[in-house]
Amino acid sequence: MSSSGFSFSTWVLSLVLALGISSALGAGPRGQNLFIAGDGFTLDQALADAQKERTPQDSPRYRILATGEEVRRLMGVGAAPDGYDLLVRARKSGGTFFVCSKDLKALGLKPADMLPGVVAVRGYLPYDPSKVEDWERRLPRAPDAKSVAVCSAD
């Protein structure tokens, strides 16, 4: 028995429990409440799935990641007529739209070209810094592991 009143085995058990709890919390679902539009899956479908599939146990907040050509629907100028309506519907139900910097670059766009409220994010930066534009370097990293992977350069 140590001077603090705890035996060594009690101390070890406490440490194991503390580590087990912290690793369980850190290993929670990644990409929960993330819906991805692109590759034939539209923003409308992603928004409908977000509203249909979430349960009362889920966070009231969710994310829709627009990729590929679906990004064009969220442009401030020249957007699809329903882009703003989608944004408003998503906000009212707890959603936020994200777009990947790699998709913006592929379409010749920048974050300022998006509707207000659309958040541009980046994935992992490539090893070659010459491939990263200054505006891209300043973007926040995508909000979860799944969207970081999707937004990383090929």
How high is the pLDDT of residue 125?
Answer: 82
Do both 86 and 107 map to the same domain?
Answer: yes
- pLDDT value of position 74: 92
> What pLDDT does 28 receive?
27
The radius of gyration of the chain from alpha carbons, rounded to an integer in Å, stands at 21
Under a CB-based contact definition with an 8 Å cutoff, are residues 116 and 139 in contact?
no
| Mean pLDDT for all residues in the chain | 78
CATH of the domain at 127: 3.40.1260.10
List of the chain residues with pLDDT < 50:
1-2, 11-30
- The parent domain of residue 125 ranges over 31-151
Q: Are 21 and 35 members of one domain?
A: no
CB 75 within 8 A of CB 115: yes
| The predicted structure's pLDDT at residue 60 | 79
What SS3 class is residue 38?
A: strand
For the chain, the 3-state helix, strand and coil shares in percent, each to the nearest 5, are: 45, 15, 40
pTM of the model: 0.74
Query: What letter would DSSP give residue 98?
Result: E
Query: For residue 19, what pLDDT is reported?
Result: 39
* 37 and 86 housed in the same domain: yes
**Residue 10, both tokens:** 């009690």
Reported as type and span, the H/E element at residue 121 is strand 119-121
Q: Could you give the CA distance from residue 97 to residue 148 in angstroms, rounded to a whole number?
A: 15
Residues in the chain: 154
